[in-house]
């Protein structure tokens, strides 16, 4: 646990009226703002304009420009539709007048129907039985300080860390336990925003693994392009969740990865898909 709450304050927005809000800057003092912060803060802004009987059922977003971690985020919410069962909101995130992130958030009045899950939760050790962290993973790959710093409010423990040497393709499903390491309020929207925040952690970090490469390799750079997420069942973001991630495809300078978030008792809470840019910077020899 961190000494002070770091995630919940990100959702403490200042309302300016007419669907306009200001969100606090990032606690993660890296080179650019973490994409999960855009997801969570846009959901918080959308929630402030929706009836209390509705929960997020899906989220779609596009990362357009990097964000400055030292600046607050201006959020603009547009009411797209309010129906009897569903509501839709478009949320734009800006800094200094430039659009950084655009999202569409869908809400639904909770309903009941028969349930089915195509991919049951894998049989894995409990989070108490694994200790390999995300910092262990990134430091081992880079041998130096990395952008994914430990000041981000995420606790990650790898079940099967991809520690194979460079050049060795890794195609197995990546499994890790994760949570937000602070006690969060009980409000459903806080935990849905928390799941969205978690879902942007590591999901495209692994798209290089089937190629036997790593993001830290010389000449490689990448960033998230878009993110989609579907919420199936309620789950607490401050309790351990198993994140199962797969690489679906790479090519055309892009990589596509998917993830499934399970509660500790095996319920599928959410599914996400993210596309990332994969760019090779080759020296100009002419």
Best CA proximity match to 173, nearest among 258, 244, 275, 266: 244
90 is catalytic: no
Which residue in 277, 266, 198 sits closest to 233, CA to CA?
266
* Interatomic CA distance for residues 186 and 197, integer angstroms: 17
Of 28, 224, 226, 245, the catalytic one is 224
Task: Tell me whether residue 224 is one of the annotated catalytic residues.
Answer: yes
- HSE-CB of 118 using CA atoms within 13 angstroms: 3
Is 274 one of the catalytic residues? yes
Strand partners, 224: 276
Q: CA-CA distance, 214 to 220, in Å (whole number)?
A: 8
Instruction: Identify the CA nearest to 267 among candidates 96, 119, 99.
Output: 119
| Beta carbons within 10 angstroms of residue 14's beta carbon | 11
Catalytic residue among 74, 155, 200, 238: 200
- Active-site residues, by number, are 200, 224, 274
């Amino acid at each position: 646990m961190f000494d002070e709450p770091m995630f919940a304050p990100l959702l403490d927005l200042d309302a300016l009226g007419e669907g306009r809000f200001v969100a606090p800057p990032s606690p993660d003092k890296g080179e650019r703002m973490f994409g999960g912060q855009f997801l969570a803060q846009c959901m918080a802004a959308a929630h402030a304009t929706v009836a209390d009987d509705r929960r997020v059922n899906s989220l779609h977003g596009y990362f357009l420009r990097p964000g400055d971690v030292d600046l607050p985020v201006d959020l603009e919410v547009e009411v797209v539709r309010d129906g009897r069962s569903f509501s839709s909101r478009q949320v734009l995130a800006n800094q200094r007048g430039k659009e950084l992130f655009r999202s569409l958030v869908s809400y639904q009045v909770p309903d009941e129907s028969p349930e089915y899950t195509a991919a049951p939760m894998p049989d894995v050790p409990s989070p108490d039985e694994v200790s390999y962290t995300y910092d262990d993973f990134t430091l081992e790959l880079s041998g130096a300080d990395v952008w994914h710093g430990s000041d981000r409010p995420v606790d990650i423990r790898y079940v099967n860390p991809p520690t194979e040497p460079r050049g060795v393709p890794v195609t197995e499903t990546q499994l890790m336990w994760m949570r937000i390491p602070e006690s969060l309020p009980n409000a459903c929207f806080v935990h849905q925003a928390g799941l969205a925040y978690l879902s942007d952690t590591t999901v495209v970090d692994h798209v290089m693994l089937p190629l036997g490469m790593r993001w830290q390799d010389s000449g490689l750079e990448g960033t998230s392009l878009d993110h989609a997420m579907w919420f199936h069942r309620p789950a607490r973001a401050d309790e351990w969740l198993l994140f199962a991630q797969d690489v679906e495809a790479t090519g055309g300078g892009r990589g596509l990865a998917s993830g499934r978030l399970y509660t500790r008792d095996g319920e599928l809470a959410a599914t996400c898909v993210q596309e990332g840019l994969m760019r090779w910077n080759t020296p100009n020899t002419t």
